Amino acid sequence: MADDLTTSLASGSIRFTGLGSGTDFDSMITKLIEIEQVRTKRLESWRSDWEAKSDAFDSLSSNMLSLKTSLDSMNTTDEFLTKNAVSSNTTALTATAGSTAEESTHQVDVLSLATNDMHMGSVIFSSPDKIISDGAAGAFVFTAGSRQVTVNVTSTTTLTQFASLINSDADNRNYVRASVVNDGSGYRLQIRGMNLGAGNDFIVDNSATSANLLTNFAQGQFIETQNAGNARLRVDGFPLDPPTPSEDILKATFTGKTTADTITTTDGTFKLAYDGTLYSVDVTAADTYASLAGKINTAVGFSMATAADVSGNVELTLTGEAGSDKQISIISSPGTTVGALQPGAFAQIQGATDGYFERSTNSISDIVSGVTMNLASIGSSTITTSLDPQAVTAKVQTFVDAVNSVLQEIKDQTQVTTVGENVSGSLLTGNYGMQMIQQKLKNILAEKGVGFDYDMDPLVSLGSVGITTDTSQGSATFGLLVFDSGAFTAALKTDPDAVARLFSADNYPSTKEMVDGVAVESSNFNFESSIKGITQAGEYSVSYTVGAGGDITSASINGFPASIDGTKIVATGDGNAARGLSLEVINLTAGTYSGSAQIKSGKTQELIDELKRLTDSTTGTLEVLKDNYQDIMDSIDDKIAYEERRLALLEKNLRLRFANLEAVLGTYDNISTQLSSQISSLSSKS
């Protein structure tokens, strides 16, 4: 019987009916286990609390990332300080304004658009599948701007295949596009230059192209339907009539050479394009810089080149004739084979123009400061640029609303509610992590901007533009930002650039020194450059000493020794927040000088940087807290698992003990029945 009982216990099949003893032990065991489950339920409730806190941090993290996304759209002055540019004639041009555009009007006359070179073949083919090379292989060589391209054809290449070979050639790289066009009389090869602007000409190199291809595709067999030309403009009355055309001037300097020195040790070629024509100059190992200039002039037919000895160097200068179409293009290898004469050796000293403002594009952003003009057709227009205060105010309202969304969530999760004498907290009331996050955000919102200076900057905090924190207890917006649009509009009207810097300075630099107790911009040094991502925003002390000879003998930035490069001093040193900051010293009078340099970070970028740190998936405060909470929940899970094992064992033990008790009670019940029967039998005999 004991073996049967053990087997039943192991299989979990022991159940009590109460028939043996009349006692419902099954219900009794169930109740005892329920009592023992109190600890498990307490652990499960505790885990649920920690899980709710972790979920709350997930929600806050999502909200903070949404805030970061909103701030990313306004963390530069161009994004923040919206300005309008209105064209009076949108048929001629449209315009957009950046943050540096001044409030003004500009008269713009569009005299021509930038165009690409276009050529149509004069030879008509009866079919696009017509073989083009008279049954022999050959090479078609052309230049596009300063690039030379060679397209090899076979004896069976058709017109369609020829166009495809031009387009797919590795050296072409979309300098030109070829297509086969049916004009009704037959099929022609059309060539279109892909780059706008004067000098980007398509020219067939007749001397390098195979003779069997020249019949159909020599330079003279193409009709130029559009010349590559510059956009030409008159802006605010300049130039006056008549304009003065300018010449293209290119100069190459050869260090340590004289005009009598030879150029190369091996024979080669110098190739250039000028006024729609290719010129190839043979350069021998015996040629000097002086003789090369003579050969160039002979090739082009006028005095274009000069070679001069200047300060121990040779200057080879190429000067074209006046006019926009007189561009000089040095053809790169394999056109020019002499290494010293490649295009990179020449610097453009002056560009060829017709005397107007000229550009090789129809999108022009470097004539009117801060304004991009998109030219559409010949015509005149007045461009009016102005600040868009409504758009800027809307951006600030977005800033305030996005920040308040995060602050409201923190407030909801941590607030304490008092009803009469009853005081109750929220899910994360008193949570250290939430308090830390809240305080960091509040500090950024309330404090002076990083790198801003009370003496030098007219606006240094959000409070100075009407953004404050509601400190009224009981107010629905208590602890949130309040936006005074009137105060902001007034500040924007007074100094829009200062407002833009406060929000979106984006490493805006400044310098400072004290003169007779008054803070002024430094007259001893200027900001030269900084390295974004390396140089941190902040205010840094600057000190340097100039010796009797006018040389900087020592310098420091932010308390670290600075490197000295001529008149430049550069912040160095591990742990130096100013590292990479470069300053140009302008006062080289003997003595020691000091001051400070500021790199400003707008409030949007300050918040973005803090949000990155808080929400970082590895080291962020929220992630660390969630990891801690997960560790706690894992520990609780272990305790719950232990309790479940303990209760399972307890139930087994109880069932075994009560099974034994049931058996004992059954035995005694049988004995009782037997005794009762025997007593009854004795009574009946008497």
For residue range 213-223, list pLDDT tens digits in order.
999 999 999 99
Tens digit of each residue's pLDDT (9 = 90 or more) over 113-132:
999 999 999 999 999 999 99
Across the chain, mean pLDDT equals 91
Q: What is the mean pLDDT of residues 562-574?
A: 96
pLDDT greater than 70 at residue 418: no
In a domain, 410, yes or no: yes
Total structural domains within the chain: 5
Q: How far apart are CA 646 and CA 638, in angstroms?
A: 12
In a domain, 39, yes or no: yes
Which of 349, 377, 404 is the last residue in one of the domains? 349
Q: 12-21, 293-302, 634-643 — which is least confidently predicted?
A: 12-21
In a domain, 300, yes or no: yes
Structural domain for 541, as ranges: 524-599
Are residue 289 and residue 302 in the same domain, yes or no?
Answer: yes
pLDDT greater than 60 at residue 15: no
pLDDT greater than 70 at residue 23: yes
pLDDT greater than 70 at residue 685: no
In a domain, 375, yes or no: yes
* Confidence at residue 129, expressed as pLDDT on a 0 to 100 scale: 96
In a domain, 11, yes or no: no
In a domain, 184, yes or no: yes
In a domain, 67, yes or no: yes
Which of 599, 623, 653 is the last residue in one of the domains? 599
Q: Is 253 helix (H, G, I), strand (E, B) or coil?
A: strand
pLDDT greater than 70 at residue 152: yes
pLDDT greater than 80 at residue 18: no
Which of 535, 570, 599 is the last residue in one of the domains? 599
* Confidence at residue 21, expressed as pLDDT on a 0 to 100 scale: 57
Q: Report the CATH number that the domain containing residue 328 is assigned in CATH.
A: 2.60.40
> Which residues, including other chains, have CB under 8 Å from residue 648's CB and lie 6 or more apart?
none
Q: How much of the chain exceeds pLDDT 70, in percent?
A: 96
Whether omega before 242 lies within 30 degrees of 0, making that bond cis, reads yes
Are residue 57 and residue 34 in the same domain, yes or no?
Answer: yes
Beta strands 249-255 and 313-319, pairing class: antiparallel
* Confidence at residue 686, expressed as pLDDT on a 0 to 100 scale: 58
Are residue 306 and residue 373 in the same domain, yes or no?
Answer: no
pLDDT greater than 60 at residue 10: no
Q: How far apart are CA 166 and CA 157, in angstroms?
A: 12
pLDDT greater than 50 at residue 9: no
Q: How much of the chain exceeds pLDDT 90, in percent?
A: 73
Sorting pLDDT into bands at 50, 70 and 90, what band is 14?
low
* Confidence at residue 7, expressed as pLDDT on a 0 to 100 scale: 45
Structure tokens, 651: 């139930």
E strands, 365-454, where? 371-375, 379-387, 416-419, 422-425
Q: 60-64, 276-280, 421-425, 606-610 — which is least confidently predicted?
A: 421-425
End-to-end CA separation in angstroms for the chain: 40
Q: How many CB atoms lie within 10 A of CB 372?
A: 17
Are residue 412 and residue 500 in the same domain, yes or no?
Answer: yes
Q: What is the mean pLDDT of residues 655-676?
A: 82
Are residue 343 and residue 294 in the same domain, yes or no?
Answer: yes
* Confidence at residue 609, expressed as pLDDT on a 0 to 100 scale: 93
pLDDT greater than 70 at residue 321: yes
Hunting for tokens 């004991």 — which residue is that?
2
Are residue 38 and residue 123 in the same domain, yes or no?
Answer: no
Contact 248, 327 (CB under 8 A): yes
Are residue 403 and residue 502 in the same domain, yes or no?
Answer: yes
* Confidence at residue 20, expressed as pLDDT on a 0 to 100 scale: 53
Sorting pLDDT into bands at 50, 70 and 90, what band is 11?
very low
Running DSSP on this structure, what letter comes out for residue 396?
H
* Confidence at residue 625, expressed as pLDDT on a 0 to 100 scale: 84
7: buried, middle or exposed (CB in 10 Å: 19+, 13-18, 0-12)? exposed
* Confidence at residue 467, expressed as pLDDT on a 0 to 100 scale: 96
Are residue 562 and residue 618 in the same domain, yes or no?
Answer: no
pLDDT greater than 80 at residue 6: no
pLDDT greater than 80 at residue 423: no
In a domain, 159, yes or no: yes
* Confidence at residue 210, expressed as pLDDT on a 0 to 100 scale: 96
Q: What is the pTM of this model?
A: 0.72
Residue 537's region, left for phi above 0, alpha for psi from -120 to 50, else beta, is beta
* Confidence at residue 679, expressed as pLDDT on a 0 to 100 scale: 85
Whether omega before 343 lies within 30 degrees of 0, making that bond cis, reads no
Structure tokens, 183: 């004009």
Q: How far apart are CA 511 and CA 520, in angstroms?
A: 8
Are residue 501 and residue 630 in the same domain, yes or no?
Answer: yes
Are residue 123 and residue 199 in the same domain, yes or no?
Answer: yes
Are residue 218 and residue 260 in the same domain, yes or no?
Answer: no
Tens digit of each residue's pLDDT (9 = 90 or more) over 451-498:
999 999 999 999 999 999 999 988 889 999 999 999 999 999 999 999
* Confidence at residue 671, expressed as pLDDT on a 0 to 100 scale: 86
Are residue 218 and residue 298 in the same domain, yes or no?
Answer: no
